[in-house]
Structure 1
Amino acid sequence: MKKILSLLSAILIAAAAFAQQQHGSISGIITATDGSPVAYVTVALKGTSYGASTTDKGHYRITRVNPGTYTAVVSAIGMAPREKDVTVVAGQNTSINFNLDLSTSQLKEVMINARSNSVKMDNPSQSLRLQEPLLQVPQNIQVVSSQSLKEQQIISMSDGLVRNVSGAFRLEHWGDLYTNINMRGSQVQAFRNGFNVVNSFWGPLTEDMSFVDHIEFVKGPAGFMLSSGDPSGLYNVVTKKPTGQTKGEFSYTTGSYNLNRATLDLDGKLSNDGKLLYRLNLSGQNKGSFRANEFNNRYVVAPVVSYQVDDKTKLTAEYVYQRANMSNVGSYYVFSPNGYAQYPQSFTALPSGLPPTNINDHSVTLNMQTQLSDNWKLTAQAAYYYYGQNGYSMWADSVGRDGRYIRSVGIWDAKSTMSLGQAFLNGKVVTGSVVHKILAGIDLGNKVYNADYNQSRQLDNKNQMFDPRNPNLGVPPNGYPTFDRSLNLEARAAAGFGNIASNYSSLYVQDELGFFENKLRLTLAGRYTYIKNSNYGGAEPTAKHFTPRIGLSASIDDQTAVYGLYDQAFTPQVGRLATGTVKPLTGNNLEFGIKRDWADGKWNTTLAVYRILKNNEITADPNANPNAGLSVVLGQKRAQGIEFDIRGEIAPGFDVTANYAYTDSKVTRAVVPNVTVPSFAKHTANAWLTYKLLAGSLKGAGVAGGFTFLGDRTTDAPAPLKMADYFKLDGGLFWEGSKMRITANAFNILNKYLYSGSYYAYLQSYYYQAEAPRNYRLSISYRF
């Protein structure tokens, strides 16, 4: 056997050597007029499938090329192609360099366009307050780029986004109202441009992707980088800003269930000197559903203006308006005493005559950045958020053992206001051989949420219960409800335990010490937080807390870093207990990981292991009527697991986004017996692969595909049945030229009955939300 293996090894080695001799390779560097490297542009051999992209240092290499004479072409969006003839010799490498006649502004434009076409991003946004590439940060941070959003036809935060991040998933979809992403055993906090924009358990409204540039997922506590957040992590939506280029893009998307959507992105200058810039994003959509009587129509207006005061100071003003008109927000739920997926996938209990829910969501942000000196930069920003909702939700009032139930509709009028402020200082100080990267700042917030969900009416009665096996979606037995809106919302909210208020302020300081030419980085930080809360009209307790942070990151080489992290979290919670008051959530995180860039930074991997302990966390009381709005304290919860992410171009034209996570989450010390951890999946795995031809007559054409898997899913309460494993397969075709992109995808290709849900002890019933069967989308984008 050993002789056979030795012979096979010799044959393989000889074959590899022979293959090497039969092919040649081409390599080189692409530079601009001033010698600057031109990164992320394509080098291809004309009329063939051979090609490669340059690294961030301008290097490229094309391997396994058949001997012969070719024309090498350098191309990128915003740049005329450059050509050179090259001869490839078997067994040899041929070096050919390009020096492109590009000015500084042209080079910047080319690199911005080229980088926007990548699924891998190397640096965090300014709103994360970090002064180093993601490779050196002692924390697991994953970024979903604008290219990934485009390829996967993601049009809102609730639209398949989580497949791009290890361990992230959604339990209850709420249509397209709220995102509610879970990660590392808990629901993570929602941020936008560095602000925590959560003002109630349900919020905020899902961002439309028309004004979103990319989304950053920060694993573990991130209180030092941003503001108070959950120990499990957060996602930070980074909105589009002016780039200084004059350009535009129009996109139209159509698809199943009467989806029609148009977006317009305009980017340019308002002054000849380029100091006053603008960005305007508009979108509008009509969207139906695979269930009867459901719809979600939205439009967005999002202008941004920036002004470069001088060489050191820049001001940016941003406004976002989202308008949503959608069907009853509780219609997605299905109830059954016998288990999940008991009725047809398209089943609904929504009668046709219920009025819609209308939402108006406004936000205004002012940002100032000033370079105080070569080593010090000050950033200050303030934001005001206003959310208004007039609408209704639907739930089951009671569920019979035969499956029939009584539907109940409740009013849901809500108003949320948030006044937020931040100022932080980034600096660098050198003491001997040690480099200190300093971060210090202050966070302020005042949040008020008022909601009337205290009025409800039964649509059915005991003599005429709703029968899911023979549904009547016409006028219900008790008719349609009318609600009393004679009092203002604040008064109605006060009478129905619908008032939430939070006021906080915090100071923090962080020093990252760089040793041995920054090969070893030690992070020491501390944060002091003061919080005053009022939950559902109760008392307004105050809390003060100091949270430390220590991290260590070491570069094994220029492409590899290992890290360890310990930090704590302290954040307010929204809820009302049957007895007692809600305490702030405290927790700590211990995390270790290794990050590596491969192939000169074209793709990277991240491997992380962690353990999170959380105290005083509350969750919805499964033994109480949902209209009572009661929560219950879990006690102490532990989440631990392992995460692996791979992202980038692993071969010319071949992009991969793939991940796996194992999550073990459980209550270790329960305050109330028989209360378990909210639903989660122990195993999550995702992939999205694209291959694009870089040369030849079909240049720009490509194929894409991916899957999502959730395994070993649990429920909220002791229930005899688990949810089945989840597997969704998506894929499609695309073509992209210098001006136009056409994308066609099919979702849920296998046409599986997919759902998420749990068990509600109060109803002694399972509830679940189904996802759409096989469906399609077609997008056409034109750049000008």
Structure 2
Amino acid sequence: MMKFSTFPVFKKIFLLTVLLLSIGRVSNATEILSAIKGKVLTSDGQPAAYVTVQIKNTNHGTLTDQNGEFVFKKIKAGHYTLQVSLVGYETTEKEIDVETDKITAISIQLTASQNQMKEIIVVGGKNKYMVNGPSSSLRIQSPLVEIPQNIQVVTKDVLNDQQIYDIMEGVTRNISGAQRIGHWDIYARINARGSQLTAFRNGMNVQISPWSPLSEDMSMVDRIEFVKGPAGFMMSNGEPAGIYNVVTKKPTGIDQKEVTISLGSFETYRSTLDLDGKLSKNGKLLYRLNLMGELRGSHRDYEFNNRYSIAPVLKYLIDDKSSLTVEYTHQYMEMNVIGSNYAFSKRKYGDLPINFTTAEPNLAPTKINDKSVLVIFEHQFNSQWKFTAQGAYFNYNQVGQSMWPSGFTTSNDSLLQRGINNWDALGINKTGQMFLNGKVTTGSINHSILAGVDMKHSDYYADWNQWSELGDTTFNIYKPTYGNIAVPQWDRSKDIRERGVQYTYGYNAVYVQDELGFFNNALRLTLAGRYTVNKYVNPYEGSYTDNKVTPRLGLSYSVDKNTSLYFIYDQAFLQNPGRDYLGNDFKPLTGDNLELGFKKNWLNDKWNSTVSLYQITKNNVLTTDNEHPNPANGQYTYSKQTGQQEIKGVEVDVRGDVVNNLGVVINYAYTDAKISKDSDPKFVGNKVPGTSKHIQNTWLTYKISKGALNGLRFSAGYQYQVGRIAGLVYDKSENALPDYFRLDGGIGYSTNKLSLNLTVNNVLNKYLFTGAPSGGLYYWQAEPGRNVRMSVGYKF
């Protein structure tokens, strides 16, 4: 059910993008045989690999290959200006005359050294499913093939081809072992290697509570980086499974604009606008502006998800060594009552229609405002040393309500008593970071040094203490009837800071890492350590602080420039809130990670592969204390710190163009996650909840590049999960979920300016869901059946 009247800002954005699209003109140029072929070199004469080359005032762009070479095909005869962009330095331009039916050769030499080439912003160019280096927000400057850790990158081209609107959708299909665990439609819970991945944005920890952050819309996203294993040495303390880092779009200094209109099943209407360029004639002030507006219904009645986002970015090039970037993000969401997307049954999973809901048509929506400000200062002292300081402020404001039943009647497994409560929340997150990257040489040993400080303080205020029954027990889940029923009114007369429960969490840390290179950097030894102080406060469990030094030892050997073997040992460290029955604080959760891996770039960097074997041991896991019931209610609500989990696995990732014009993302993960210690022996040996024994994903895109069908592409992919374990449950008799198989496909067409895309999700129209048992009943969240998305994009 749509609510257009409450969404005036979206209407303005939608009309603006439609207007911009309507004034564009599409040219149908005839085929031209002229071409431009060239090579880009650094100032010391080395090939400049993976650099963006743009034909000025056009939409022609490409990337140099590993040898610094590039080519533009089918170019009209005429006079052009080639532009090579290097952030923090003057843009390099080269004039060129192209003659009819001739290949024009050119060489361009940059004024930057090979080390400074890592600051190149990648834009334009052909469809790319792989990258060779991490973003600067990961703080490390080595090529991915040399880093002793499994880091996988989902590019914006993959996101566009799969028509992914937000991070809760099909992002996980592109990463080995990653899976979405059932939750509400406000935040992304992504699990891998036996636990939840911590959410980051531009290198900042953006988690304020277990129900955050608000899921990012992909319109403002350039890439998503998945860092497997503990990442405390470079990011922050967190789960030993790893993190995902959403990298937002930044100014490139190249004038380019794009508008996209999308339509889809369930009354989905979406529009995005991406503006990029310079605001000053001298090219020192750059900007990027991304706007998005969306109205989306659901396969369930009375459900909707309306959103808009505004994401302006300014970058000022202070001089040839320093820059200042300021980014503001405002995401707004208006959606149905939280929790209405769950189905409930005492019999089994999936015994209700796919469109089942417990919602009512007259329930007030939940409204969320998510705002953030990010400031980044960068200074390049010279070609060897760089300093970065960045700070961010996040403000999450939610006003709404949540549904959860009190249970079925004792005599009838069809009659459900629905329940509803208010859920208002305010989350404030402050993060600050400073770090230094440098390179020095002592004798024959090269040193790549990273050192920095990392600080975070989060306050989360939550009011969910007002509860009421919704309707009565005559709600028959097998024969539901809906209508205007009495809705409780919540008392919001006091500010959320007064009536809400306050949780405070923060940490301060310092870290240092040295990557020592031997034998002309063929063998690299990484030594690192981080000292972290955690602080946690809440009124139920009191306050406490923990501190720990977490080491990191890595070894990477390059068999050749495209192939490496690596070993890594590192540790995780994070808070463990709560107290035992004696009122004692719990020790922090720690995790040890051992990992072996193989990486290779194939066929002149057209595609790459990573194979990793790992073992994670999580210590001090909390388990239920069955020996000491809580005197307040007589139930076993105390926890006991005797738990341990062991997670072992194998992961394989392949991405890139395995043959000409065929882009692939193929991955597989085997995960053996077991409880190795528990206060109750019967749980030892059980599977860790929220895992799957086997996950295999494939996505293929073939693009025709010649002839009358030039620009036409076909895509197909599937997700397959076997041995799924339900979330938040340990009982062997109840935690199994059926195997999961989803098939998707699409067709598209693109020219230099125009792009068309049609995607069909869940082609086989299967009943797909995630869920778990709880309190004698089963609950699950069903995905939509077969559905379609269509989009048209125009660059101007």
1:758 paired with 2:745, answer no
Cα–Cα, structure 1 residues 111 and 767, in superposed 2: closer, same or farther, change >3 Å? closer
Aligned partner letter, 1:591: E
Q: Does 1:602 align with 2:614?
A: no
Q: CA deviation at 1:83?
A: 8.3
Cα distance between partner residues in 2 of 1:322 and 1:714? 33
* CA distance, structure 1, for counterparts of residue 169 and residue 759 of structure 2: 13
Q: Which of 413, 416, 427 is 2:438 aligned to? A: 427
Question: Are 2:377 and 1:355 aligned?
Answer: no
- Aligned partner of 1:688 in structure 2 is 699
For 1:560, the aligned partner's letter is: T
d(CA) in 1 for partners of 2:139 and 2:488?
Answer: 50
Q: Provide TM-score, normalisation by structure 2.
A: 0.85
- Indicate whether 1:490 and 2:490 are aligned: no
Q: Is residue 570–residue 587 contact of structure 1 (8 Å, CA) maintained in 2? A: yes
Supply the distance in 2 between the matched residues of 1:399 and 1:383 (Cα, whole angstroms).
Answer: 46
Match for 1:565: what amino acid?
Answer: I
Change (3 A) 1:636 1:98: farther
User: What is the CA-CA distance between 1:616 and the residue it aligns to?
Assistant: 2.6
Residue range with higher mean Cα deviation, 377-386 or 712-721: 712-721
Deviation at 1:619, TM superposition (A): 8.2
Residue 287 of structure 2 corresponds to residue 293 of structure 1: no
Residue 266 of structure 1 corresponds to 275
| Matching of residue 516 in structure 1 with residue 519 in structure 2 | yes
1:741 matched residue in structure 2: 755
Identity of aligned residues (%): 45
Work out whether 1:655 is the aligned partner of 2:655: no
1:214-240 deviations in Å (ceiling 9; x for gaps): 000000000111111211010000011
Counterpart of 1:614 in structure 2 is 618
Q: Name the residue aligned to 1:93.
A: none
Is 1:547–1:567's contact at 8 Å kept on the other side of the alignment?
yes
Q: 2:382 aligns with which of 357, 373, 379?
A: 373
| Deviation at residue 651 of structure 1 after TM alignment | 1.1
- Counterpart of 2:566 in structure 1 is 563
Is the Cα contact below 8 Å between 2:654 and 2:664 reproduced in 1?
yes
Does the 8 A contact of 2:595 with 2:615 survive in 1?
Answer: yes
- 8 Å CA contact 2:623–2:679 kept in 1: the answer is no
Q: How does 1:517-556 map to 2 (within 5 A)?
A: 517-556=520-559
SS for the counterpart of 2:705 is coil
Alignment partner of 1:99 is 2:119: no
**Contact map agreement 1:634 1:667 (CA 8 A) in 2:** no
Alignment partners' CA distance in 2, 1:632 and 1:434? 49
Question: Are the equivalent residues in 2 in contact too, given 1:231–1:587 (CA < 8 A)?
Answer: yes
Q: How far is the alpha carbon of 1:575 from its aligned partner?
A: 6.1
**Structure-2 residue corresponding to 1:199:** 208
SS in 2 for 1:200: coil
Instruction: Give the whole-Å Cα distance in 1 for the aligned partners of 2:753 and 2:577.
Output: 48
Inter-partner Cα distance in structure 2 for 1:746 and 1:208? 20
**Distance between the aligned counterparts of 1:211 and 1:615, measured in 2?**
38
1:471 aligns with 2:483: no
Cα distance between partner residues in 2 of 1:634 and 1:451: 30
Counterpart position of 2:596: 592
Cα offset, 1:637, TM superposition: 1.0
- 2:489 and 2:795 map into 1 onto residues whose CA distance is 49
Contact 1:743 1:778 survives alignment (8 Å): yes
Alignment partners' CA distance in 2, 1:474 and 1:634 = 49
1:719 Cα deviation (Å)? 5.5
CA distance in 2 between partners of 1:364 and 1:316 (Å): 11
Change (3 A) 1:77 1:191: farther
Q: Tell me: CA distance 1:532–1:639, structure 2 relative to 1, closer, same or farther (3 Å).
A: same
Which is further off, 701-710 or 530-539? Answer: 530-539
What amino acid does structure 1 have at the position aligned with 2:789? R
Shift in Å at residue 488 of structure 1?
Answer: 2.2
Aligned to 1:279: 288
Instruction: Confirm or deny: 8 A CA contact 2:279 2:287 kept in the other structure.
Output: yes
Residue 716 of structure 2 corresponds to: 705
Off by >4 Å, runs of 4+ in structure 1:
32-42, 58-61, 71-86, 101-105, 107-111, 573-580, 618-625, 627-634, 672-676
2:138 equivalent among 113, 128, 132:
128
Q: Equivalent of 1:165, from 168, 175, 191?
A: 175
Q: Is the 8 A contact 1:40 1:114 kept in 2?
A: no
**Matching residue of 2:508:** 505
User: Could you give the per-residue CA deviations for residues 658-693 of structure 1, whole angstroms, max 9, x where no partner exists?
Assistant: 100011111111135666622211111111100001
**What's the CA shift for 1:342?**
0.5
Q: What does residue 154 of structure 2 align with?
A: 144
Find the partner of 2:420 among 409, 412, 423: 409
CA contact (8 A) 2:52 2:122 kept: no
Does structure 2 conserve the Cα–Cα contact (< 8 Å) formed by 1:564 and 1:591? yes
Q: Does 1:458 align with 2:458?
A: no
Distance 1:737-1:72 versus aligned 2 partners, 3 A rule:
closer
Q: 1:255 to 1:445 in 2, by over 3 A?
A: same
Output the CA distance in 1 between the equivalents of 2:692 and 2:104.
50
Q: Which amino acid aligns with 2:669?
A: A
What displacement does 1:131 show?
A: 1.6
Kept in 1: contact 2:209–2:460 (CA 8 A):
yes
Question: Is the 8 Å Cα contact of residues 623 and 639 (structure 2) preserved in structure 1?
Answer: yes
Q: TM-score, normalised by structure 1?
A: 0.86
Is 1:231–2:240 an aligned residue pair?
A: yes
- Kindly indicate whether the alpha-carbon contact (under 8 Å) linking 1:576 and 1:629 is maintained by their aligned counterparts in 2: no
Taking a change above 3 Å as real, the CA distance of residues 772 and 536 of structure 1, as seen in their structure-2 partners, is farther
SS in 1 for 2:715: strand
1:725 maps to 739
Matched, 1:769 2:784: no
| Residues 435 and 109 (structure 1), Cα distance of their counterparts in 2 relative to 1, 3 Å cut | closer
- Post-superposition Cα deviations, 1:143-195, rounded to whole Å, max 9, x if no partner, equal 000100100001101011110000000111422x1100000011110000111
- Alignment correspondent of 2:650: 642
Residue 56 of structure 2 is matched in structure 1 by: none
- Structure 1 pair 507–112 and aligned structure 2 pair: CA distance change class (3 A): closer
Q: Out of 444, 447, 456, which is 1:436 matched to?
A: 447
From 179, 183, 188, the counterpart of 2:197: 188
Superimposed CA distance per residue, residues 114-167 of structure 1 (whole angstroms, 9 cap, x where no aligned partner): 457311011100010102010000000000001001000011010111100000
Q: Which amino acid aligns with 1:483?
A: W
Asked whether the 8 Å contact 2:39–2:64 carries over to 1, the reply is no
| Structure 1: segments with no counterpart, 5+ residues | 1-27, 43-51, 62-70, 87-96
**Deviation of 1:617 (Å):** 3.4
CA distance in 1, matches of 2:120, 2:390: 30
Report the secondary structure of 1:221's partner residue: coil
Indicate conservation of the 8 Å contact 1:536/1:576, yes or no: no
Deviations 1:470-506 (A, max 9, x none): 1122134xx211222222212222xxxx321012100
Q: C-alpha separation between the residues in 1 aligned to 2:243 and 2:339?
A: 26
Give the distance between the partners of 2:641 and 2:717, measured in 1 at CA.
Answer: 39
Q: Distance in 2 between matches of 1:351 and 1:469?
A: 16
Contact 1:39/1:111, CA 8 A, preserved across alignment: no
Matched residue SS, 1:135: helix
Aligned equivalents of 1:58, 1:766: Cα separation in 2: 58
Is 1:31 aligned with 2:35? Answer: no
In the TM superposition, what is the alpha-carbon distance from 1:329 to its structure 2 partner? 1.3
Structure 1 residue 78, shift from structure 2 partner: 8.6
Structure 1 residues 611 and 306: alpha-carbon distance in aligned structure 2, compared to 1, 3 A threshold: same
Offset at residue 629 of structure 1 (A): 10
Mapped partners of 1:58, 1:204: distance in 2? 40
Cα RMSD for the two superposed structures: 3.2
Change (3 A) 1:249 1:512: same
